[in-house]
Structure 1
Amino acid sequence: MADKQRAMSEAVNIVDAKGGGERRLADQVYEKILTAIIQGDFPAGEKLPTEMVLCARFGVSRPVLRQALKQLKSDELIVSRQGSGSFVKRKPDGVVLNFSPVGSISDIQRTFEFRAAIESEAAALAAQRHSLEDLKRIKEALADLERCVKTGEVGAGADEAFHMAVCAASGNHYFENARSSMKSQIVLAMTLNRQLSLASPETRLLKVQEEHEQIYEAIRSGNPQAAYKAMRDHIESARRRVFDGVELGGSSDRQM
């Protein structure tokens, strides 16, 4: 029985290791295709090479390539057309590569997914449980963010303070703990997003600030549904804003 259990455990470990390896390879291919799109090797509106060609180009299997393509679709960088293949939907701003450490973009996108799940619930609870002191803390962070918009500062620290204040107002310290465990990744993502916003028209930063204000007002008014939606919309919009750029057909996507 012990031998059988040990064999089963080893088999699980092999599968997990293989799966983890495939995910890491898929992340690498994801970033290579993203880089090719940004650099114009795969132009916006054009069809991507076939899977066979892409597999040969990047030296990976089809399952690995398909994981990468799935993430690119999720990030609205490519779109599939039945019977025609995959097409480039948008070309992100080239500064994405300048501001992002090599190998970090896929992790940044996963950070946004984590935050959307955790912080939306925290905002809903904050709307129900906040104290006057909690509201004051959130309002102060909001004012600091407003100052950063006016002075042209990146403001990642103020952004982080705002979101941590919302988690604290939930009355459940596990939200703060979960978020704190990923602080370095979260601040990196925030810094990237706000740097990209500074390099864009002022309307983009104003839109981000408007989203923060909507979160605050929903919490202040005690509306958990509105707070949940405002936070989730804000974080998902932040994820999409990382890849602002030229849409298929040449239209601008700056107001997402």
Structure 2
Amino acid sequence: MCNAPGRLGSSVSNAPSFAGSIEKIGRRRAVDEVRERLIASIQSGELGINERLPSENELARLFGVSRPVIREALVSLDAMGLTVARSGSGTFVVATEVKPELVFGGYAPAHLNQVRRYVEIPSAEEAARCCSKAQLDEIASILDRLESEDDAASRNKLDADFHVAIARATGNPLLAKIIGNLRTMVEEEAFTAARLPQRRSQAHSEHRAIYAAIAARDPALARAAMTAHMDSIDQSIADLEESPRKQRG
């Protein structure tokens, strides 16, 4: 490839009933806490089926967190089958029980990650053979920004940019396009997996290992590093799917 070219709809003045029990929470594990409190409100009936949740702005005010934190939590609820976002209308409660399998963008995580393995692992291997100095510098720059970014939505975008930059470094523009398109499908998965404790630091380590292997021009090591990254993603999703089952016990 190297040579290739109701209560929930209330206004601020009439806050939902569960708002009285909300205490402002810190940024640390904020997504986890918001998600768990919303799940508890749904499962207790405070937030009933077909009720609309308050807006992102209102939820951010009630919980004392940023809108990106709220957005991540809502993506998780949607992936778990508890809510659905309706364009122009808001987010509505549609179930009180977590569905047995997660779905992202209409696809099961196993299907998405199987396809990612087919294209991203060979891409890392080929990038180690073909990557130019300029392309390597671009990957390093993206990685530096990714590690210092606190906004969840911006991190997700930079994560996508990192994987696409590796694909571009193969010299095959079609690989970059395919991986770019795949990343739009796995956005929900990335948001949801990110709520696991330590996942952010683990992902940084995995990305650094991939970059180091490409920088060392070691195709076998790059392949192994990207494989380990995909294995870790699979394990994160498995942990997410197992957690609700344990809760239902």
TM-score (norm 2): 0.53
| Matching residue's letter, 2:79 | S
| CA pair 227-99 structure 1, distance change in 2 beyond 3 A | farther
Q: In the alignment, is residue 181 of structure 1 matched against residue 176 of structure 2?
A: no
Question: Deviation at 1:214?
Answer: 0.1
Question: Deviation at 1:191?
Answer: 2.2
1:210 aligned partner = 205
Distance 1:211 1:99 in 2: 27
Question: Deviation at 1:235?
Answer: 1.5
For residue 152 of structure 2, give the secondary structure of its aligned residue in structure 1: coil
| CA pair 96-243 structure 1, distance change in 2 beyond 3 A | farther
1:244 aligned partner = 239
**Structure with greater helix share of residues:** 1
Question: Deviation at 1:192?
Answer: 2.1
Q: Identity rate of aligned residues, in percent?
A: 22
Question: Deviation at 1:96?
Answer: 8.7
Match of 2:226 among 204, 214, 231: 231
* Matching of residues 156-175 of structure 1 within 5 Å: 156-175=156-175
TM-score (norm 1): 0.52
Mind listing any 5+ residue stretches in structure 2 that lack a counterpart? 1-39, 41-72, 82-101
CA contact (8 A) 1:215 1:231 kept: yes
| Matching residue's letter, 2:114 | E
| RMSD across aligned positions (CA) | 2.8
1:153 aligned partner = 152
2:77 aligned partner = 98
Moved over 6 A (4+): none
| CA pair 193-132 structure 1, distance change in 2 beyond 3 A | same
| CA pair 99-217 structure 1, distance change in 2 beyond 3 A | farther
For residue 222 of structure 1, give the secondary structure of its aligned residue in structure 2: coil
CA contact (8 A) 1:119 1:231 kept: yes
Distance 1:145 1:113 in 2: 25
Mind listing any 5+ residue stretches in structure 1 that lack a counterpart? 1-38, 40-93, 251-256
1:126 aligned partner = 127
CA contact (8 A) 2:163 2:179 kept: no
Q: Bigger radius of gyration, 1 or 2?
A: 1
CA contact (8 A) 1:96 1:242 kept: no
Question: Deviation at 1:188?
Answer: 2.5
